[in-house]
Structure 1
Amino acid sequence: MKLQEYFEKLRGKRVLVLGLGVSNRPLVRLLLRYGIETVGCDKTPREALDDEVLELERAGLSLHLGEGYLTGIAGDIAFRTPGLHPLKPELCALRAAGTEITSEMEAFFEVCPCRIIGVTGSDGKTTTATLIAEMLRHAGRKVWLGGNIGTPLLDRADKMEPTDSVVLELSSFQLMDLHRSCHIAVVTNLAPNHLDIHRSMEEYIAAKKNIFLHQGADDTLILNADNALTAGFAPEAAGAVRFFSRQTGQPNGAWFDGETVYLDGRPLLKREKILLPGVHNVENYMAAILAVRGLVSDGNIRAVAAQFGGVEHRIELVRERNGVRFYNDSIASSPSRTIAGLRSFDQKVILIAGGYDKHLSYAPLGDEIPSHVRLLICTGATAQKIADATRQASDYREGHPEIRMIDDFYAAIHAAADAAQPGDVVLLSPAAAAFDKFKNFMVRGREFKKTVMAL
């Protein structure tokens, strides 16, 4: 179905847009462009609205705002913002009243004219999706990169050609009620995450499965063989399944023997030729290589590996000052992500960790910290949890690492800088979301960078 046809079908209907964040704003513009009655529902009070939303109101959007933004509304169809749980009581009430609940992402899948490569997982989604896009671009292909990575693509669908490729990073929230799947689906790994919103780990896993459950026999699913949860998805796949691994050889997949990445049993890429640090990034490369298998040359893959310096907020080198390297890993909003970051360095680091509490266990991170951290600075809402988990680790001894509790984020950065000696690494890798003090991990990371650059 073409974009125009999709929106023409909505003419004469009353459309609710539930949440007026970044992903839904292009959708609102399209609805208004096609003359469709549209109500924007958002928790933000009128006095706190930004200029873009007010501009949409002037263009014809009706607004329903404040704490009760999901009550007292009615419509034929409602587009759910990703962070809004589809089984929230107010949404269930809308369904019961006959409102169809969908999403911007569901609409995009319906109108997209070309191959969709989707990436999900608990960690590594953004880097893997970006690597796939970079490899395809290096091969001369037209690529559209979007989704959870921050770029909505619905309003660009009419510019896409069947020969193009779309690469989507997909969160569990976007996948929860998605009734279509990607032609090539990648699941990097799975570990407990977002349990402050998902009702259970089982619900979180079920959401991730939607990236492949609606595939056909000609589609492909790429899984991490070393992660029991993802490996267990294979029997449910309708199409081909390919694995990547650091533990076992994969004659029809990708594997890493500690020095070389192999594809289909042949050597492809030496570890030393990958610019990104950390063995977890080797995993991201293997996942990406399988996704572009048959679409790009070995030379394209090697060229990207040698040139690609990483994505902002993902073990990003901010600066070197007086022999001390400062890294921004603000994207690390879960313990497993921070563990991967710590394992990227061949020395003990000064770690700044802590943030919004997503009700995750910090025991696995606590077990890792004594081996990888010489000074732990705990900040934010999860500071005490991280400190306690570290002290309970079997390898912990008093003062190894030293633990400091500094609630103020900026003071924590200054304390880390003051404690650092030439040759040290200072790593911001919070193992928690940013919402206790910042709008999101991007704002947190930029504040870290700004503070470090001002030292």
Structure 2
Amino acid sequence: MNKYINKKVAILGYGLEGQDAEKYFINLGINPTILDQKDDPNYLNNLKSFDVIVRSPGVYRYKKEIVDAEKSGVIVTSPIKIFFDECPGKIIGVTGTKGKGTTSTLIYEILKADGRDVYLSGNIGKPYLELLPKLTKDSFVVMEMSSFQLIDLDRSPNIAVVLNITSDHMDWHKNQEEYINAKKNIVRYQKQRDYLIVNSEYKSSIDFADETKANIIYVSKKSLDNKFKNGTTLRGEHNQENIVMAVEVARILNINEETIEKVVIGFKGLEHRLEYVNEVGGIKFYNDSFATGPQPTIAAVNSFTEPETLILGGSDKGLNYQELGDVINKTKNIKNVVLIGVTGPIINKYLDSNLQFTIYNLQKPNMEEIVKKAFDITPKGGVVILSPASASFDMFKNYKDRGNQFKKAVQSLLNEQK
């Protein structure tokens, strides 16, 4: 019998994973109580009246009310903990500060091409509790895993993939140490027969090897075969890091090289991740709206040799922009920096306007104005990159809305030029 039967259950947060959890419990014959901040600012007040609390990832695990309820005997779990407890198949978990989505999707595509029963889930793909009835012992679930999900996870994937670990979500985590410590749960509970694949170019990633009993494989972009480096259409060295991880997973699973190569070379990348939009008047536009922190934007900057106009800024996650400023200041092909949003002035403090580029502070214009300005100031043969290094919530619904508005504005500009 399921351990939740006859229990009084509350779901904290009613986003996608909260809704997935609700369906799961209803299928068990349990009608959970939904507690969401949008409906009631005091939604955490009566947690001790429940037997089980199911925490959605967006709700911070160590809020005082949750900790107090747990101390009083309430079980605190999460959708991903339930999934790990009940999944009969193999789980391939991918984490890192950037590159998770691209790497997870590429692994999924390779396994699918090999005829495996494979599903893509976690932060992308299908809601995972919804998958449980479809899964067997022969199934594979590729999961993009965030620190929000990992923070109290007490099981680890059969294959863990650890990309670069830098800094993110400082508006959610107590500090950088907690962020990295949360990520380490992806390896802490692995068994000797499991695998950990680590990017050997990042010390913070290498440190994960100290936490696992699994077989450890170290890779880097330097170890990527030339047939993949030369064959891929994905721009940037960061994508070589993503590819080498996916290839290593495929090799662990004994997928033949021909299948791996065919999928990697045909893979076009993900929407809003350094996505080529169009060319207008000899200027190419790239949508990297998924870059909500400095590291992916640094990767984007380093992906081009053409003259660059960089669009930066958005809402504030409490991140440090010193390294990004240093990279921009020394990158000779950056000609213009367009700053928008709340973090525009913050980023500006780290930029040296006496160098080779011009800074434009636009504050909070609409996207058509941003794109028009970028077009006007970019030389022919150059590129315009929307890679904000910031969240989007000050001006847009989310990063997808921001990216879609950018693409729409580029299309409007193209239509005007015809």
* TM-score for both structures, normalised by structure 2: 0.94
CA contact (8 A) 1:225 1:243 kept: yes
TM-superposed deviation, 1:421: 3.3
**Which residue among 18, 41, 55 is the counterpart of 1:24?**
18
For residue 281 of structure 1, what is the amino acid of its counterpart? N
Aligned to 2:407: 449
Q: Deviations over 1:225-270 (max 9, x none)?
A: 1101111222222011111124xxxxxxxx43xxxx24xxxxx634
CA contact (8 A) 2:306 2:381 kept: no
TM-superposed deviation, 1:181: 0.2
**Which residue among 400, 406, 409 is the counterpart of 2:362?**
406
* Structure with higher RCO (Cα < 8 A, 6+ apart): 2
For residue 86 of structure 2, what is the amino acid of its counterpart? V
Q: CA RMSD in A?
A: 1.4
CA contact (8 A) 1:12 1:37 kept: no
The separation in 2 between residues aligned to 1:31 and 1:305, in whole angstroms, is 39
For residue 169 of structure 1, what is the amino acid of its counterpart? E
For residue 341 of structure 2, what is the amino acid of its counterpart? G
Matches for 1:201-216 after TM superposition, within 5 Å? 201-216=176-191
The separation in 2 between residues aligned to 1:436 and 1:417, in whole angstroms, is 23
CA contact (8 A) 1:327 1:425 kept: yes
**Which residue among 188, 201, 204 is the counterpart of 1:226?**
201
The separation in 2 between residues aligned to 1:366 and 1:359, in whole angstroms, is 15
Aligned to 1:382: 343
TM-superposed deviation, 1:294: 3.4
Aligned to 2:237: 279
Aligned to 1:36: 30
Secondary structure in structure 1 of the residue aligned to 2:244: helix
Q: Deviations over 1:122-175 (max 9, x none)?
A: 010000001100111111112100101253111221111211211000000000
Q: Deviations over 1:312-353 (max 9, x none)?
A: 000001111222111100111111110001111122311101
CA contact (8 A) 1:146 1:167 kept: yes
CA contact (8 A) 2:250 2:260 kept: no
Q: Does 1:72 align with 2:46?
A: yes
Aligned to 1:98: 73
Aligned to 1:397: 354
CA contact (8 A) 1:380 1:409 kept: no
For residue 335 of structure 1, what is the amino acid of its counterpart? P
Aligned to 1:55: none
**Which residue among 270, 287, 292 is the counterpart of 1:311?**
270
**Which residue among 125, 148, 153 is the counterpart of 2:123?**
148
Aligned to 2:398: 440
For residue 17 of structure 1, what is the amino acid of its counterpart? I
TM-superposed deviation, 1:405: 0.3
TM-superposed deviation, 1:115: 0.7
Aligned to 2:416: none
For residue 202 of structure 1, what is the amino acid of its counterpart? E
* TM-score for both structures, normalised by structure 1: 0.87
Q: Deviations over 1:17-71 (max 9, x none)?
A: 0000011212202212322131000111xxxxxxxxxxxxxxxxxxxx3111111
Change in CA separation of 1:432 and 1:150 when aligned onto 2, cut-off 3 Å: farther
Q: Deviations over 1:257-314 (max 9, x none)?
A: xxxx24xxxxx63412112111110000111111221321111121112211110000
Aligned to 1:328: 287
The separation in 1 between residues aligned to 2:81 and 2:100, in whole angstroms, is 19
TM-superposed deviation, 1:384: 1.0
For residue 18 of structure 1, what is the amino acid of its counterpart? L
The separation in 2 between residues aligned to 1:93 and 1:436, in whole angstroms, is 33
For residue 29 of structure 2, what is the amino acid of its counterpart? G
How many residue pairs end up in the alignment? 407
The separation in 1 between residues aligned to 2:218 and 2:119, in whole angstroms, is 25
CA contact (8 A) 1:13 1:37 kept: no
CA contact (8 A) 2:228 2:265 kept: no
Aligned to 2:306: 347
More deviation in 113-122 or 159-168? 159-168
The separation in 1 between residues aligned to 2:266 and 2:243, in whole angstroms, is 13
Q: Deviations over 1:396-447 (max 9, x none)?
A: 635x210000112422222112223331211000011112222321121112
The separation in 2 between residues aligned to 1:109 and 1:236, in whole angstroms, is 19
TM-superposed deviation, 1:80: 0.4
Secondary structure in structure 1 of the residue aligned to 2:252: coil
Matches for 1:172-251 after TM superposition, within 5 Å? 172-246=147-221
Aligned to 1:114: 89
The separation in 2 between residues aligned to 1:303 and 1:406, in whole angstroms, is 44
For residue 94 of structure 2, what is the amino acid of its counterpart? V
**Which residue among 372, 384, 396 is the counterpart of 1:426?**
384
The separation in 1 between residues aligned to 2:310 and 2:40, in whole angstroms, is 39
For residue 357 of structure 1, what is the amino acid of its counterpart? D
Aligned to 1:47: none
The separation in 2 between residues aligned to 1:414 and 1:23, in whole angstroms, is 38
The separation in 2 between residues aligned to 1:151 and 1:101, in whole angstroms, is 24
